Structure 1
Amino acid sequence: MIISNKKTSFIHKIIDNFIIRNTKKKICTRFPPDPNGYLHIGHAKSLFINFEISEKYNGQCNLRFDDTNPDNNHQKYISVIQKDIKWLGFRWTKKTKYASMYFQKIYEFAIELIKKKLAYVDKLKKNDIRKYRGTLNTPGINSPYRNQTIEENMLLFQNMKLGNFPEGQVCLRAKIDMQSPCIIMRDPILYRIKFSKHHRTKNQWCIYPTYDFAHCISDAIEGITHSLCTLEFQDNKQLYNWIMKNITIHHQPKQYEYARLNIEYFVLSKRKLNTLIQKKIIKQWNDPRLPTLSGLKRRGYTASAIRNFCNNLGITKKNNLVEISSLESCIRKELNLTACRTMAIIEPIEIIICNIPINYQQEIKIFNHPNNHDMGEKNIIFSKELYIEKEDFQENIKKRYQKLTLGQTVKLKYSYIITAHSIKKNKDNSINKIFCTIHIKNKNQKYKIIHWLSKKHAQRSEFRIYNHLFTTKNPSSKKNLLSYINNKSLIKKYGFINKYIVYNSKKNTYQFERQGYFIIDNILSTKKNIIFNQIISLKQNWKNKI
C-alpha cells in the first residue's frame, strides 16, 4: 500500500483539474526505464510518484521498457528492474510493455512525416550534424540534404530499412527549425541505423527510433494521460508536442516535469555508476555503497523505508540537494522498532574473570527487544573468559575516564560489575589479555556499562563498515568524479557474534548494541562464515569516528 503525500502537489492539482474536464477518462501513468543498468533511488522517486497517482485516482500505471537502442538493452537488466519494482511493493497494470512492441507503428509515423515534408534523410556525418546544429549563442545551419524531394527521402529511408547503408552514414531527421532557440528543435534525429541484434525483435530491424520519437508515440498508443518526467526533459517537451501535433493519432498525452532526486554523497546516474564498475572502483551494481535499489537492499534498507523517504520528499519543480540524513533517518526509525537486539564484538580484546572457576557458566535471559517483548527472549552465557571491545579498555587512566581501566570498575551489560587489576601484553606491546575481578553481590549497582561476549560461545564473523563512497557532498557536480573516491568507504573488521545467531535469510537484521544496525550479507555469507553489512549507525555522527 502506498502512503499518500500529506500536501497536495502541483501535479495532483493538474490531475484534479483534468478530471473535472474529462469525467469519463481514466488516469493512466507509466514508468519507462531504459534497461541499460540497475534502478537507483532516483528511480524509486519516479516509481512512487507514478504508482501513487494511479492508485489515488483509481487509474493504471504501465511498466514500459525503452528498448529503442539494441546496443544497451540486456534481458538481465529487465529481470532485475522488474524484481526491484516488485520488491518496492509496486505492481504495474497488465503485462509488461516495450517500446519495441510499437516499432512498426512508429516506422509508419516516420513515413507520414516524410510525406508531409516534415522529415528527411541526412547524409551528413555525425560530427558535421553536431557542428551544423550550432550552440546556445549561435543559430544552426541547414543541412544540404534538407530540401530533398519526398520521393528521394522515401527511397533513402527504404534503403535504410533494408540495410543498404552502413551505420552512421545516414539518419532520418525531423524538419523543424534550425534557427530555434531550443537546440533540441533544430532538426533532431528520429531514426538511426544499428545492426545489433535486438533482445526482442532479433534481426527484424536495422533502423531504430530515438527515445524522443518513440517515447511520445508509445505514450499515445497506450493512452497515457499524464507523462511525468524530471526537469532535464523540459526542453524535450517541445519536441514531444511537435510530434504529437504532426502525426495522425487520436490520443494526445501531455508531459509534465518535476524536480529529479539528488542526494548528498550519491551519484544518481546509470552512466556514471557503470563507469565505477568499468573502472573497478566497485565490483557490481548491487554493491552496498551504491544508491541502486539492489545495493540498498543488500545494505539492509527496506522497501517501506525507501517509500517513506520518497513520500517525505513530495513533488516540486525546484531541484535541490537532499541531505543524506533524511534517507538514513527513515531506515533508522524503522529498525529501531523491528530489529532484534544482541551483543557483538567488532574489535575484540579478551578479559579473564579471575575469581570464578574455569568451568563456570551462567545463563542470563534477556528480551530480544527492550520495548517489544512480543519479539521473544533469548539466553546469553556468562563465563570466565569474555570478549569486550578494544575501545572499552584504556591502560593509562585519564581524568573522569568512565570505561574499563586498571583499578576502574564497570558493569557488564545484563550481568555483573568487574574491576581490572592487571594486563598481559604481546611482544609488540599491544594488550593480549585483561585480568579482572567480578563483584557478584554488587550486581545491581550503577556503573558505566559495556557490552561483552562469552569466548566459549562466540563465533568469529566479518563486519563490513560503510562510509560514503565519495568525499564530496555533491559528486555529480564534479568533472573528474573519480578524484573524489573515498578510499575508506569500506572497512572490514573481524570480531565475534553469539553462536545463537544462525544464518537465516528470513531473519537476518540486528541491532548490535552500542554499535549500530547490521544485516547478514545473503550473497557472501555461509553458516560457517557469516558476513555482516552495516546498515546504519545508531547515531548520525557515528561514522565520523571510524
Structure 2
Amino acid sequence: MIEARDFIRTRVLTDIDSGAHAQIVTRFPPEPNGYLHIGHAKSICLNFGLAEEAATHPGVSGLCNLRFDDTNPEKESQEYIDAIQRDVQWLGFQWSGEVRYASSYFQALHDFAVELIQAGKAYVDSQTPEQIREMRGTLSQPGSNSPFRDRSIAENVDLFARMKAGEFPDGAHVLRAKIDMGSGNINLRDPILYRIRHIDHHQTGSDWCIYPMYDYTHPISDALEGITHSLCTLEFEAHRPLYDWLLEQLPSLPHPQQIEFARLNLNYTVTSKRKLKQLVDEKLVQDWDDPRMPTISGLRRRGYTPASLRNFCDRIGLSKSDGVVDVAMLEFCIREDLELSAPRAMAVLRPLKVVLTNVAADHLEIIRTVRHPNVDMGERELPLTQEIYIDRADFEEVPPKGFKRLTLGGEVRLRNAYVMRCDEVIKDAAGNSTELRCSLDLATLGANPTDRKVKGVIHWVSVSHSLPATVRLYDRLFNDASPDRGDADFKTFIHEASLETLTDARVEASLATAVAEDRFQFEREGYFCVDLKESSPAHLVFNRTVGLRDSWGKPA
C-alpha cells in the first residue's frame, strides 16, 4: 500500500482517501532521442512503483502508461524506442496495455488546436524565429505583441489548414497560444503550439508536416489517457501554468494534476542526453551501452542489477529542491546486492607463473570450497597443480614498507590451500621477474590460519586448469565531481584511466559455464560481470562492476 513517506505519495494517498480517484494512473513519457540514464530510472521507479502501490489498496487500481513523446522526428529513432522498452522491462516493470505514442494523438491534437483558434485563444504568427525570440522579452522585461496577433479567426483557421496541407516551407508560420505577452512567466507569453517541419515521422510517415510542441502535447495526451497524477521533474514547474491553462480552455477534457519533484543529480556524472550523445558521436566511449556511461543499458552491461538500481532510487527518496547525490551511494547499493548474490571465484588479472618445486610434475589435487561464505550455493573445485599463477602485484622481491604478501624467502597462504614459501626468482635479460620457484608446507592444508602466522593470503589459479579471459577494469568516466558545470567543457574532465583492458587474465575453471550477465566476486579484486555483448564460451570477457570497497581518490 502507499505510505505517506514523501510529498507525492502523501498527495496521492489523500486523493485516494477523499474518494477523488478509485484508479491511480501515472505515465512515463520519454522522448525517443537517446538512451535512458540513471535519472530516468528514478522517474521509472516512481511512476511504475506508485501505480503498483496504489493497486494494493482495497477498491483501488493502479496503472502506469509508457508513452513516447515523439513530437520531434528529426532527433528520434526506432533504435531509441526499442532500447527504452528494453530498459523499462529489465528494471522489472510492465506498462499498462500497449505502448503509447504522442503521435497517435496527432489528429486529436490538431482538432483541439482548431478549437483554440475558433475560440480566439490561438493565432498563426508569420514572424521569423529571430523576431519571435526578440519580442518575447526577458525575465525582467515584458514581451511585445506580435503584429499578427489580431488576425481574424477566419484567417487563422485558413492559414493553419494551409500549414497542415504543406503549402508553406519550414519556419514560414507557427501557431501560438494567445495568453499574455506581459506575463511574469515567460512560458505564458504566447507560447508556440505548432511548427512546420517537412520531415517524415518514424510512426506516421509523411502524414504530417506540422508537429505539436511538447508543452502543448503533454497536458492533452495526459488528459486523453486519463492520467490522474502527471509527475515531472522541477524544470517543468514553471510550465505548469501553461499545462493548466490549456486544459482550462478545453473543458471537454479531464484535468490531471501535474506534480514536480527534484531530478537526480549525481556527482562525477553527466546525464544530459545531448552531452551523452556527444560522447557517443565523437567516439569518446564505445556506444550508449558503454559500461562507463550512466545509461541504464551501460549500467546493466557494467554488472548493475535491477534490484540495486531500484534500491538506490528508493534510498535517495524524493525532494522538492535540487541537490547532488554522491555516486558512492550508487556503488554502495550494488555492493550490498552482490555481497549476498554473487558467488566467489578466483581470477588472476596480471599473471606471474609459480612452479611448486616440492610436488610432482603431474600433481593434481582438487581442493573443494564453498561458492559463497554465507549463502548456500554449493561447492566449487579448485585444481592445484605444480604450476600455478599468482598476481604480479602479490610479489615484491624488495618489498616496500608494510607489504604483506609474497617476498623472496617469505611465506604467504594460498587462498583455501597451503602456506607457500618463495625460494627463487627467475628473471629475463631485462631483470624482470618471469617465474617464481616456491615450495608448499604440505601440513598446512585446512589448518587453522592462526597456527602458522604468515604475512598474508593471496589468490591463485592452476596454469593448466584455468581459463584465459579478457578483463576490463572500468572506473568513473569523469575525474571531477562536477564535470557538467557551466564554466568548462565537460570533456576536459574525462578520466583517462577510466578503462584498463587486461587481455591475458586467467580465471578458475569453474567459470567455464558462465554466460552473459553472470556476476561474480573475484576474491580480493572486486565484483565482475560476464560482458553482455562480447563474451563467448571460447573466450570469456569480464567487466569490473565495482571494487570491494570505495577507494576513489585514496592513495594506493
Partner of 1:67: 70
* Superposition RMSD in Å: 1.7
2:378 pairs with 1:376: yes
Query: Equivalents in 1 of 2:433, 2:116: separation in Å?
Result: 81
Letter aligned with residue 297 of structure 1: R
Kindly state the Cα deviation for residue 542 of structure 1 after the two structures are TM-superposed. Answer: 6.5
CA offset at residue 400 of structure 1? Answer: 5.0
Q: Tell me how far apart the structure 2 counterparts of residues 319 and 272 of structure 1 sit (CA, whole Å).
A: 20
User: 2:220 — aligned with what?
Assistant: 217
For 1:186, which of 186, 189, 198 is the aligned residue?
189
* Contact 1:35/1:78 (8 A) holds in 2: yes
1:403 corresponds to: 405
Tell me how far 1:6 sits from its aligned partner: 7.0
Would you say 1:486 and 2:495 are equivalent positions? Answer: yes
Q: Deviations over 1:145-167 (max 9, x none)?
A: 11111122111111100101101
Q: Deviations over 1:387-441 (max 9, x none)?
A: 1111111111455532111111111111111111221112222111111122112
Match of 1:44 in 2: 41
**Structure 2 counterpart SS, 1:476:** coil
Q: Is the 8 A contact 2:265 2:325 kept in 1?
A: yes
Partner of 1:11: 8
* Residues 247, 255 of structure 2: 8 Å contact kept: yes
Per the alignment, residue 59 of structure 2 pairs with: none
In the alignment, is the contact (CA less than 8 A) between 2:28 and 2:43 conserved in 1? yes
**Residue from 538, 541, 545 that aligns with 2:551:** 541
Question: Contact 2:301 / 2:517 at 8 angstroms: preserved in 1?
Answer: no
1:456 equivalent to 2:470? Answer: no
CA contact (8 A) 1:467 1:490 kept: yes
Secondary structure of 2:23's partner? Answer: coil
Does the C-alpha gap of structure 1 residues 209 and 401 become closer, same or farther in structure 2, counting only changes over 3 Å? closer
Deviations 1:302-335 (A, max 9, x none): 1111111111121211211101111111111111
User: Shift in Å at residue 29 of structure 1?
Assistant: 0.8
| Contact kept? 2:516, 2:530, Cα under 8 Å | no
Alpha-carbon distance in 2 for matches of 1:131, 1:354: 84
1:234-253 alignment, distance < 5 Å: 234-253=237-256
Equivalences for residues 197-346 of structure 1 within 5 A:
197-346=200-349
C-alpha distance in structure 1 between counterparts of 2:381 and 2:466, whole Å: 13
User: Which residue type is aligned with residue 15 of structure 1?
Assistant: V
Give the corresponding residue for 1:499: 509
- 1:68-87 equivalence runs, <5 A: 68-87=71-90
- TM-score, normalised with respect to structure 2: 0.94
Secondary structure of 1:365 counterpart = strand
Indicate how the Cα distance of structure 1 residues 542 and 165 shifts in structure 2: closer, same or farther if over 3 A, else same.
closer
Higher alpha-carbon deviation: 7-16 or 76-85: 7-16
Residues 40, 291 of structure 1: 8 Å contact kept: yes
CA distance in 2, matches of 1:86, 1:250: 31
Residue from 446, 453, 473 that aligns with 1:465: 473
1:35 paired with 2:14, answer no
Cα pair distance change 1:183/1:507, threshold 3 Å: closer
Find out whether 1:515 has 2:528 as its counterpart.
no
The separation in 2 between residues aligned to 1:467 and 1:265, in whole angstroms, is 11
Q: How much does 1:474 deviate? A: 2.1
In structure 1, list runs of 5 or more residues that go unmatched.
none
Pick closer, same or farther for the CA change 1:398–1:161 going to 2, 3 Å. closer
Distance 1:280 1:129 in 2: 37
User: Which portions of structure 1, spanning 4 or more consecutive aligned residues, are displaced by more than 3 angstroms?
Assistant: 4-7, 20-25, 397-401, 542-546
Partner SS for 2:464: helix
Distance in 1 separating the partners of 2:4 and 2:232:
20
DSSP-derived class of the 1:166 partner = coil
Return the offset for 1:505. 2.5
Question: Is the Cα–Cα contact under 8 Å of residues 467 and 543 in structure 1 kept in the other structure?
Answer: no
* AA aligned opposite 1:304: A
Give the TM-score, by structure 1 length: 0.96
- In 2, are the aligned partners of 1:35 and 1:74 still within 8 Å (CA)? yes
- Give 1:509 deviation, angstroms: 1.1
For 1:450, give the aligned amino acid.
I
1:107, distance to aligned residue in structure 2 (A): 0.7
Which residue of structure 2 aligns with residue 130 of structure 1?
133
Please say if residues 537 and 543 of structure 1, whose CA atoms lie closer than 8 Å, have aligned partners that are also in contact. Answer: no
Matches of 1:7 and 1:182 in 2, distance apart?
Answer: 32
Matched letter for residue 449 of structure 1? V
State the Cα deviation string for residues 488-530 of structure 1 (Å, max 9, x = none). Answer: 1111123111233125436721110000010111211122221
| Structure 2 residue runs without a partner (length 5+) | 56-61
1:378 aligned counterpart, secondary structure: strand
